[in-house]
């Protein structure tokens, strides 16, 4: 974590951003979470140690982190934005029932070939894979409920 914090501090300096206690706390909370938290979840976490921080500050800071490349938004459908401080190449699987997001990595997805019709018209910044379904726990719950009705 220390190395990632040092990299973050250097990135902020490079981008001309002040290293405020709030910014550092928000980044640490995001970095320390494996849950791909929402802005609300990050706010609840850091509010314990920084009770005067506002939700707006947390939300704006998370957006700033994505703007400078210290985090990114895990895209999905029909849910609140979720954030990830792990900027290494990986993919996401989201359970549509419990809403948990799991990281996975598959080499095939690492080198997605973007069609020339897109690369000719747009500047591609990131190509990601996002899969939705039911996690093992939610599948088990569904099986148990079916068993109860028989």
Q: What pLDDT, on the 0 to 100 scale, is given for residue 117? A: 87
Q: What pLDDT, on the 0 to 100 scale, is given for residue 66? A: 95
d(CA 4, CA 84): 13
* Assigned token pair, 36: 């791909």
pLDDT above 90 (res 111)? no
Mean of per-residue pLDDT scores for the chain? 89
Average pLDDT over residues 48-54: 95
Average pLDDT over residues 67-78: 86
pLDDT above 90 (res 60)? yes
Which residues, at least 6 apart from 137, have a Cβ–Cβ distance to it below 8 Å? Answer: 95, 98
**Pair type for strands 101-104 and 82-84:** unpaired
> Domain ranges in the chain?
1-74, 88-150
Can you tell me whether residue 11 is helix, strand or coil? helix
Q: What pLDDT, on the 0 to 100 scale, is given for residue 147? A: 58
Q: How many CB atoms lie within 10 A of CB 146?
A: 9
Q: Does domain 88-150 have CATH number 3.30.1490.190?
A: yes
Confidence band, pLDDT 50/70/90 cuts, at residue 146: low
Tens digit of pLDDT for each residue in 30-45? 999 989 999 999 999 9
Confidence band, pLDDT 50/70/90 cuts, at residue 16: very high
Buried b (16+ CB within 10 A) or exposed e, 106-143: eeeeeeeeeeeeeeeeeeeeeeeeeeeeebeebeeeee
Phi first, then psi, for residue 35 (nearest 5°) are -95, -5
Residue count (the chain): 150
Looking at the chain, the whole-number percentage of residues with pLDDT higher than 90 is 69
Q: Which pTM was predicted? A: 0.82
- CATH dotted code for 1-74: 1.10.10.10
**Residue 147 vs residues 12, 137, 150: alpha-carbon distances, Å:** 54, 15, 5
Q: What pLDDT, on the 0 to 100 scale, is given for residue 148? A: 58
């Amino acid at each position: 974590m220390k190395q990632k914090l040092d990299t973050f501090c250097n990135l902020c300096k490079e981008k001309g951003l002040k290293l405020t206690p709030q910014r550092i706390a928000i980044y640490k909370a995001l970095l320390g979470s494996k849950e791909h938290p929402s802005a609300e979840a990050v706010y609840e976490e850091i509010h314990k140690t920084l009770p005067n921080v506002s939700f707006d500050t947390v939300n704006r800071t998370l957006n700033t982190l994505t703007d400078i490349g210290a985090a990114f938004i895990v895209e999905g459908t029909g849910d609140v934005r979720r954030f990830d401080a792990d900027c290494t190449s990986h993919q996401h699987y989201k359970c549509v029932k419990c809403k948990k997001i799991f990281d996975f990595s598959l080499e095939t997805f690492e080198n997605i070939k973007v069609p020339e019709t897109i690369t000719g018209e747009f500047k591609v910044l990131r190509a990601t894979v996002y899969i939705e379904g039911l996690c093992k726990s939610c599948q088990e719950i569904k099986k148990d409920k079916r068993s109860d009705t028989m």
